[in-house]
A = this chain, B = another copy of it.
Amino acid sequence: MKNPTAAIIIIGNEILSGRTQDVNVQFIAMRLALRGIKLEDVRVVPDVPVRIIGAVNEMRAAYGMVFTTGGIGPTHDDITSECVAAAFGVPWEPHEPSMQVLREYLGPRMNAEQARMATLPRGAVPIRNEVSIAPGFTIGNVHVMAGVPRIMQSMFMALEPDLPCGQPIEMRAVHGMGVMEGNIAAGLGAIQNQFSDTDMGSYPFQRDGRWGVAIVAKGTDVARLEAAIIEASALIKAQGIDPVQGEPG
Cross-interface CB contact of A15 among B13, B42, B112, cutoff 8 Å: B42
Q: Please tell me if A201 contacts chain B, counting CB pairs below 8 Å.
A: yes
Residue of B nearest to A30 (CB): B18
| Contact call A16/B29, Cβ cutoff below 8 A | yes
How far in angstroms is the closest Cβ of chain B from A154?
A: 12
Cross-interface CB contact of A186 among B20, B27, B113, B204, cutoff 8 Å: B113
Q: In the assembled complex, which residues on chain B have CB atoms less than 8 Å from the CB atom of A114?
A: 182, 185
Q: Please tell me if A207 contacts chain B, counting CB pairs below 8 Å.
A: no
Q: In the assembled complex, which residues on chain B have CB atoms less than 8 Å from the CB atom of A18?
A: 25-33, 39
| Contact call B76/A148, Cβ cutoff below 8 A | no
Q: Please tell me if A237 contacts chain B, counting CB pairs below 8 Å.
A: no
29 contacts between A and B (CB under 8 A): A13-B218, A15-B26, A15-B29, A16-B40, A17-B29, A17-B33, A17-B218, A18-B26, A18-B28, A18-B33, A21-B23, A22-B25, A22-B26, A42-B42, A73-B185, A73-B204, A74-B185, A75-B188, A75-B189, A76-B189, A76-B192, A76-B200, A76-B202, A77-B201, A77-B202, A111-B186, A113-B182, A114-B185, A148-B204
Which residues of A pack against B, CB within 8 Å?
Answer: 10, 13-23, 25-33, 39-47, 73-78, 106, 109-114, 116-117, 148, 150, 169, 171, 181-186, 188-189, 192, 199-206, 216, 218, 247
